[in-house]
């Protein structure tokens, strides 16, 4: 089966998720590592669940059994925001 060409979009600017779907033999752990790298690379104002939903819509039909598809399905249902937490050592706390 020939895979169709997948291009980058704003949800996956660095192409990490796209490349994961192009790799054979990825485990759930491999996909989690790639997913976290992707999520941490998103701008602060972006909601991870919304971007995961977009990517799920893009890839789920073509790759229904891929471990990244399952991970995106879980992530799109999550309400975890991407915003950074300010700890006691933040610039704000030092002022």
For residue range 29-61, what is the model confidence (pLDDT) as tens digits? 999 999 999 999 998 888 999 999 999 999 999
CB contact set of 86 (below 8 Å; sequence gap of 6+): 92, 93
CA nearest to 4, candidates 47, 45, 62 = 62
Q: How many helices (H) and strands (E) does the chain have?
A: 5, 0
Q: What are the residue ranges spanned by the domains of the chain?
A: 13-80
d(CA 63, CA 42): 23
Q: What distances in angstroms separate CA 13 from CA 1, 46, 78, 87, one per listed residue?
A: 27, 13, 21, 29
pTM: 0.73
């Amino acid at each position: 089966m020939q895979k169709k060409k997948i291009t980058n979009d704003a949800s996956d600017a660095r192409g990490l998720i796209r490349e994961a779907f192009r790799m054979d033999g990825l485990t759930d752990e491999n996909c989690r590592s790639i997913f976290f790298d992707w999520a941490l690379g998103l701008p602060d104002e972006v909601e991870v669940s919304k971007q995961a939903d977009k990517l799920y819509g893009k890839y789920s039909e073509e790759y229904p059994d891929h471990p990244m598809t399952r991970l995106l399905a879980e992530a799109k249902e999550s309400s975890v925001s991407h915003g950074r937490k300010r700890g006691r050592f933040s610039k704000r706390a030092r002022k």
